[in-house]
C-alpha cells in the first residue's frame, strides 16, 4: 500500500467485492431471447432519431435564444461524463429483488419517456394553460430545455446498464452474438425513426387527429420505447443477490471449489439454477461477507470512482481512448451533416429570408441529408449482420481498424468532392463506423473479462488473492467516452467553423480524427489471442 501505483490499482479493484471463484459457463441463451434483449437498443435509437429530426425545429418554434443552444447540448454530456461511472458502480452492488441492472434500465427508460413528453408536448401544454405571452414564452423554453436535457441524460446513461445486463447473464459466445444483435437493431431503430420523421404528418389524418406532427412523433416514440423496454426487461431473468444467498445451503458450500475466507465474487447478474448449482456470477463465501459488502458500498464515492478510473489497467485505458477518438470523429460528422448538405453540397443559405430561394435550397439539402442519415442506419444494420462472418477472417483488430479507416476515407472524399450522389453513396461508410463503435469495443471488453476470469481460476488453487472490477463500472467507463466526445465536439467544432468560415471543416476534422484513430487501434489497443 505504500507504493502509489499499487494503491491506485487496489482502489480500482476494491470497487467490487473480492473473492476467487470456480467459473462455470452460463447456459446458452436462445436466439429469440437475445433478440428480445436487443429491443431496448431499437427503442432507444428510434427515439434518438426522432430527437435528431425534431429537437432543432422544436427549439426554434418555442423561441430559444441562440445563446442557450450550447448550454442545452453541453449540460447533458457533462452530467453523463461525471455521473455515469457512479451509476455503473451502483448497479454492480444493487440489492433489488428484481436483479442488478433492470431496476436502473426501467428508471432510465421512464426518464426518457418523461423527457420526450416535455420537449415534444411542453409548448402545447403551456399554450393551453398560460395566456400571458411573455410568461408563456419563458415557461415553454424552460420546459423544452428540461425535456431535452432529461432525455439526453437518460438515453446516454441507459446504454451502460444494458451492456452490463448482457454481460452478466450470457456466455462469452452469447455476448458476442448479443452485441451484434444490439448493433443490428440499433440501425433498424434509427432508420425507422428517420423515415417516420421524414413524413409530412400535418397533411395526414393521424396528424390532424393528434394535433401537430410533434404529438404524432411523441405517440410513436412512446409506443416504440414502451414496447421495446417491456420485451427487453422480460428477455432474460435476473435473480437478486439476497435470494441466491438464501437458497445456498451449507452442504452446497462444502461441495464448492476451495474459497478464500471472506468476500464475494465482485460482479454479475445472478441467476438461480435448479440442478443444485449456482450461476457462476456468484460465489458466496464464509465469514465477513455482509460486513465487507456494506463497507465496499459505503466506499463508492465520486472521488474513489474517479481515482479508480485513473488507475485502471492500461489496456482498459487504451480501449477507452480509442472509443473516445472514434466517437469524436463520428459525432463531428453526424451532428453537422444535414447543415453540411444544405450549405456545401446544395449551396443554400440558412441565414436568408425564409421565403427566399437560397433558404428553400438549404431546406432541400437538409431533407436530403436526413435520407443520408437513413442510409447510414440501414447500412449499419446490414454491416452488423456481416460482422459475424468477417470476424472469423480478419478478427476484432481487423474490424476495428477497417471501421475507422473506411469512415476516415469516406468523410475525406465527401469533403473534397461535395457532390449529392457521391455523398449519399459514401454515407454507407458512416454505417460501418457506427456498427463498429456499438460492437467491437464491447466485444473486446468481454474478452478482457473472460481473460481475467481464467487468470483467477489459475491463481485460486495457489491461494493467491484475486480481485476484479464490476462489469457495470467497466461498461460505464467505456460508454462515458461518448459524453466526453460530445463535450469536445460541442465545445470545439463551433470554434473551428467560425475560424474557417465554412462548415466544410466539419467533415475534414472528422476524417482526420478517424484516420488518427485507425492508427491508434492498430498500435495501442490490446487484442486477446
pLDDT in tens, 153-199: 888 888 888 988 888 888 888 888 888 888 889 888 988 888 887 67
408 burial type by CB count under 10 A (0-12 exposed, 13-18 middle, 19+ buried): buried
With cut-offs at 50, 70 and 90, classify the pLDDT of residue 36: very high
Question: Would you report the helix, strand and coil content of the chain in percent, each value rounded to 5?
Answer: 75, 0, 25
- pTM over 0.95, yes/no: no
184: nearest Cα among 529, 434, 528: 434
Sorting pLDDT into bands at 50, 70 and 90, what band is 330?
Answer: very high
Q: Which three cell numbers stand for residue 71?
A: 448550454
Query: Hey, which residues does 278 pair with through a beta bridge?
Result: 272
The whole-angstrom separation of Cα 405 and Cα 423 is 17
CB 284 within 8 A of CB 248: yes
pLDDT of residue 353: 78
Domains of the chain: 28-241 (1.20.1250.20), 303-456+470-528 (1.20.1250.20)
Note whether 238 and 98 are within 8 A (CB).
Answer: yes
SS3 of residue 176 by DSSP: helix
Cβ(390)–Cβ(338) under 8 Å? no
The 10s digit of each residue's pLDDT in 452-504 is: 888 877 776 544 444 445 677 777 778 888 888 888 887 777 677 778 777 78
Q: Which among 230, 207, 233 has a CA at the least distance from the CA of 218?
A: 207
Question: What is the C-alpha to C-alpha distance for residues 191 and 195, in angstroms, rounded to an integer?
Answer: 6
Higher pLDDT, residue 209 or 494 = 209
Distance CA 58, CA 52 (A): 11
110: Cα within 13 Å, side-chain hemisphere: 7
Q: According to the model, what pLDDT value does residue 475 have? A: 77
Structure-model confidence comparison of residues 101 and 274, the more confident one: 101
pLDDT for 395-424, tens place per residue?
Answer: 999 999 999 999 999 999 999 988 899 999
What's the CA gap between 147 and 59, in Å, rounded? 11
Residue 28 pLDDT greater than 70, yes or no: yes
Contacts with 68 (C-beta within 8 Å, 6 or more apart), sequence order: 141, 145
- Residues 267-312: tens digit of each pLDDT: 333 333 333 434 444 444 444 444 444 444 444 455 665 666 677 8
**Who contacts 248 (Cβ-Cβ below 8 Å, separation ≥6)?**
278, 284
- With beta carbons less than 8 A apart as the criterion, state whether 504 and 102 touch: no
Amino acid at each position: 500500500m505504500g507504493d502509489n501505483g499499487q494503491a491506485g490499482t487496489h482502489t480500482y479493484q476494491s470497487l467490487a467485492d473480492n473473492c476467487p471463484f470456480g467459473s462455470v459457463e452460463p447456459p446458452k441463451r436462445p436466439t429469440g431471447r437475445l433478440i428480445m434483449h436487443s429491443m431496448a437498443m431499437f427503442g432507444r435509437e428510434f427515439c434518438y432519431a426522432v430527437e435528431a429530426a425534431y429537437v432543432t425545429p422544436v427549439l426554434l418554434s418555442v423561441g430559444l435564444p441562440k445563446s442557450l443552444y450550447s448550454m442545452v447540448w453541453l449540460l447533458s454530456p457533462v452530467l453523463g461524463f461525471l455521473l455515469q461511472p457512479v451509476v455503473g458502480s451502483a448497479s454492480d452492488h444493487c440489492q433489488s429483488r428484481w436483479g442488478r441492472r433492470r431496476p436502473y434500465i426501467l428508471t432510465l427508460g421512464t426518464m426518457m419517456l418523461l423527457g420526450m413528453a416535455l420537449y415534444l408536448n411542453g409548448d402545447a401544454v403551456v399554450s393551453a394553460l398560460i395566456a400571458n405571452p411573455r410568461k408563456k414564452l419563458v415557461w415553454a423554453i424552460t420546459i423544452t430545455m428540461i425535456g431535452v436535457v432529461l432525455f439526453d441524460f437518460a438515453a446516454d446513461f441507459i446504454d451502460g446498464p444494458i451492456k452490463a445486463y448482457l454481460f452478466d447473464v450470457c456466455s462469452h459466445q452469447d455476448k458476442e452474438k448479443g452485441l451484434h444483435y444490439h448493433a443490428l437493431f440499433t440501425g433498424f431503430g434509427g432508420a425507422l425513426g428517420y423515415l417516420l420523421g421524414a413524413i409530412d404528418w400535418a397533411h395526414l389524418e393521424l396528424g390532424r387527429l393528434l394535433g401537430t406532427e410533434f404529438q404524432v412523433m411523441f405517440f410513436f416514440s412512446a409506443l416504440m420505447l414502451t414496447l421495446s423496454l417491456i420485451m427487453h426487461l422480460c428477455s432474460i431473468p435476473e435473480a437478486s443477490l439476497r435470494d441466491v444467498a438464501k437458497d445456498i445451503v451449507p452442504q452446497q458450500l462444502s461441495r464448492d471449489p476451495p474459497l478464500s475466507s471472506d468476500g464475494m465474487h465482485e460482479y454479475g447478474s445472478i441467476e438461480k439454477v435448479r440442478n443444485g448449482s449456482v450461476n457462476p456470477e456468484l460465489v458466496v463465501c464464509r465469514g465477513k461477507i455482509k460486513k465487507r459488502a456494506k463497507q465496499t458500498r459505503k466506499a463508492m464515492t465520486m472521488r474513489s470512482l474517479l481515482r479508480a478510473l485513473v488507475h485502471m489497467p492500461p489496456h482498459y485505458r487504451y480501449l477507452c481512448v480509442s472509443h473516445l477518438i472514434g466517437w469524436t470523429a463520428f459525432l463531428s460528422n453526424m451532428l453537422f451533416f444535414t447543415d453540411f448538405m444544405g450549405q456545401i453540397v446544395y449551396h443554400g443559405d440558412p441565414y436568408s429570408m425564409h421565403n427566399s430561394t437560397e433558404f428553400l435550397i438549404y431546406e432541400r439539402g437538409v431533407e436530403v441529408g436526413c435520407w443520408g442519415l437513413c442510409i447510414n442506419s440501414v447500412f449499419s444494420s446490414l454491416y452488423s449482420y456481416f460482422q459475424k462472418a468477417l470476424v472469423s477472417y480478419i478478427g476484432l483488430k481487423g474490424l476495428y481498424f477497417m471501421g475507422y479507416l473506411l469512415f476516415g476515407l469516406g468523410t475525406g472524399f465527401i469533403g473534397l468532392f461535395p457532390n449529392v450522389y457521391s455523398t449519399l453513396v459514401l454515407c454507407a461508410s458512416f454505417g460501418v463506423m457506427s456498427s463498429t463503435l456499438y460492437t467491437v469495443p464491447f466485444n473486446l471488453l468481454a474478452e478482457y473479462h473472460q481473460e481475467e476470469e481464467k487468470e483467477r481460476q489459475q491463481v485460486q488453487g495457489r491461494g493467491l488473492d484475486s480481485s476484479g472490477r464490476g462489469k457495470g463500472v467497466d461498461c460505464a467507463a467505456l460508454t462515458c467516452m461518448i459524453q466526453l466526445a460530445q463535450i469536445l465536439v460541442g465545445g470545439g467544432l463551433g470554434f473551428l467553423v467560425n475560424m474557417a468560415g465554412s462548415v466544410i471543416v466539419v467533415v475534414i476534422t472528422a476524417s482526420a480524427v478517424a484516420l488518427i484513430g485507425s492508427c491508434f487501434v492498430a498500435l495501442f489497443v490490446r487484442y486477446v489471442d
